[in-house]
Amino acid sequence: MTRVFLASRNAKKLEEMQRILAAHLGEVEVVGLDDVPAYDEPVEDAPDFEGNALLKARVGATVTGLPTIADDSGLCVDALNGMPGVLSARWSGPPKSDARNNELLLAQIADVPDDRRGAHFVSAVAFVLPDGRELVVEGRMDGRITREPRGSGGFGYDVVFEADDRPGVTTAELDRADKDAISHRGRALREIAPQVATLVA
């Protein structure tokens, strides 16, 4: 069985990564930060998603000796000039809270009319092997911000985001297979998975 390290302790992200990679790699075990000896995680101070994903993947591969995947993703809102962007997870300040992030975002664009509530999710996925070989791909999902949270699935800003590919429902209201098919992370992983399969074979 192929063992791949995902530099994250987000249980929902680990589950999503396992599901999508397994469809391409077959027998694969995705392990997270809680499954390896603790190490000092890098500060995500790059100005873009790709840079942050590479920071995490390089350190993970060096420390664990495992093929390592890391992603950095976020929400870019047109009315906020692309913010929160790389600051998405900590938009409302510490400690990290999806609920507070969503409340702040909705408050910031409360007066923005429906036709100007465009937004998109971006996910940069980096894959780094212990020998130094690297891959990075980026996926995107376009849509709009709703006026109130809806749904109980997904995580992060899913409860306030309607994808253009599935109008009328938030991505938190989609079943997992439907979300995987259109999500920014799903698209990036489907693009990188065949290359990962070749490199780890």
pLDDT, tens only, 38-83: 999 999 899 999 999 999 999 999 999 999 999 999 999 999 999 9
The single residue of 34, 48, 71, 72 carrying the catalytic annotation is: 72
For residue 24, pLDDT beyond 80: no
CA distances from 110 to 59, 145, 159 (A): 40, 10, 16
* Per-residue model confidence (pLDDT) at position 194: 82
Q: How much is the average pLDDT of 168-174? A: 97
161 or 21: which leads in pLDDT: 161
Q: What are phi and psi of 43, to 5 degrees?
A: -75, 130
The CATH number given to whatever domain includes residue 26 is 3.90.950.10
Helices marked H in the chain — which ranges? 11-25, 49-64, 98-108, 176-182, 184-200
For residues 195 and 139, the model is more confident at 139
| Domain count within the chain | 1
Distance CA 103, CA 139 (A): 26
Q: Is 158 annotated as a binding residue?
A: yes
Mean pLDDT computed over every residue of the chain: 93
For residue 193, the model assigns a pLDDT of 83
Q: What is the pLDDT of residue 68?
A: 95
76: Cα separation from own chain's centroid: 13
pLDDT surpasses 90 at 168: yes
Give the least confident one: 12-16, 46-50, 100-104, 105-109.
12-16
- Range of the structural domain that residue 140 is part of: 2-200
Residue 40 annotated to the active site: no
Q: What confidence score (pLDDT) does residue 79 get?
A: 98
In whole angstroms, what is the distance from residue 200 CA to residue 170 CA? Answer: 36
Model confidence pLDDT, tens digit, residues 111-132: 999 999 999 999 999 999 999 9
With a cut of 90, say whether residue 17 has pLDDT above it.
Answer: no
Between CA 24 and CA 195 the distance in angstroms is 10
Is 12 annotated among the ligand-binding residues?
A: yes
Whole-model pTM? 0.87
Find out whether 144 is annotated in a ligand binding site. no
| Distance (Å, whole) CA 170 – CA 65 | 39
The 3-state DSSP class for residue 92 equals coil
